[in-house]
Amino acid sequence: MSEDKYSDINGNTILLNSCSHSSFCREFTISTPKVSLRKIMAYTCSVWLIAYAVFLITENTTVLSAAIFVTLLGMMLHLHFVKIDHESLLIIGSLGIQMSSSYASGRESTTFIEMGKVKDIVINEAIYMQRVIYYLCILLKDPSDPNGVADVVPLFQSSKPRLSCLDKVYKSCQEIIGQC
């Protein structure tokens, strides 16, 4: 088990925790920093200041209560559906690949792909938000065409690690896929 520091595509530090359970079973977990208090403060303050400005113009107090409501609801939704703290990839040779992501609220979502469907794991390039980035993805076999690719499942979508980190995960995954 080892823990390495890498950075994501925006230059923030992320932690890659790689854990080798056996020679054909490995787990990679990428942890991103927790929601910072400063960020919450900044968003809350800006929403409230805007609401207060609107209140001064309209002199309607519902604006203020709406602002409080919006901030609370926004924070809850953000923690429950957007902010992912850990993303993990569990690869077990001959069995399959499990991807799970745990949200800041504690909610977890897990997907499993059996090995029979996996064609390969590759690093690909994509245009993302006015940038060109590398990402790791699983290629799924097309049942009708033995050489074709039915679908592409991107990995670590939320943490978006840089190439050096992807390369490490990629090489270990290839070792396991190569065995079976």
Partner 1 sequence: LNHLDHPHRKHNVCMVSDFFYPNMGGVESHIYQLSQCLIEKGHKVIIVTHAYRNRKGVRYLTNGLKVYYLPLQVMYNQSTATTCFHSLPLLRCIFVRERITIVHSHSSFSAMAHDSLFHAKTMGLHTVFTDHSLFGFADVSSVLTNKLLTVSLCDTNHIICVSFTSKENTVLRAALDPEIVSVIPNAVDPTDFTPDPSQRDDTKITIVVVSRLVYRKGIDLLGGIIPELCLKHPDLYFLIGGEGPKRIVLEEVREKYQLHDRVRLLGALEHRDVRKVLIQGHIFLNTSLTEAFCMAIVEGASCGLQVVSTRVGGIPEVLPEDLITLCEPTVKSLCDGLEMVIAKQRAGNVPPPAAIHNRVRTLYTWRNVAERTEKVYDRVAKEVVLPLDKRLQRLMAHCGPVAGSIFAFVAVLDFLLLLFLSWLVPDYVIDIAVDASGPHGIWKNKHSRKDFKILSDTSFT
Minimum Å gap between C-beta 5 and partner 1 is 15
Contact positions vs partner 1 (CB under 8 A): 7, 9-11, 120, 122-128, 130-134, 137, 139, 149, 152, 154, 162-163
In 3D space, the residue among 154, 18, 159 whose CA is nearest the CA of residue 102 turns out to be: 159
d(CA 141, CA 57): 60
**Considering beta carbons, is residue 44 or 157 the nearer one to partner 1?**
157
Minimum Å gap between C-beta 117 and partner 1 is 16
**Considering beta carbons, is residue 66 or 122 the nearer one to partner 1?**
122
**Considering beta carbons, is residue 76 or 150 the nearer one to partner 1?**
150
Are 32 and 10 contacting, i.e. CB atoms less than 8 angstroms apart? no
**Considering beta carbons, is residue 37 or 127 the nearer one to partner 1?**
127
Cβ neighbours for 180, distance < 8 A, ≥ 6 positions apart: 24, 93, 94, 115
Query: Residue 7 half-sphere exposure, CB side, CA atoms within 13 Å?
Result: 4
**Considering beta carbons, is residue 104 or 156 the nearer one to partner 1?**
156
Tokens representing residue 84 in the block: 């992912």
Cβ neighbours for 46, distance < 8 A, ≥ 6 positions apart: none
Minimum Å gap between C-beta 72 and partner 1 is 30
d(CA 1, CA 23): 13
Minimum Å gap between C-beta 120 and partner 1 is 7
Minimum Å gap between C-beta 125 and partner 1 is 4
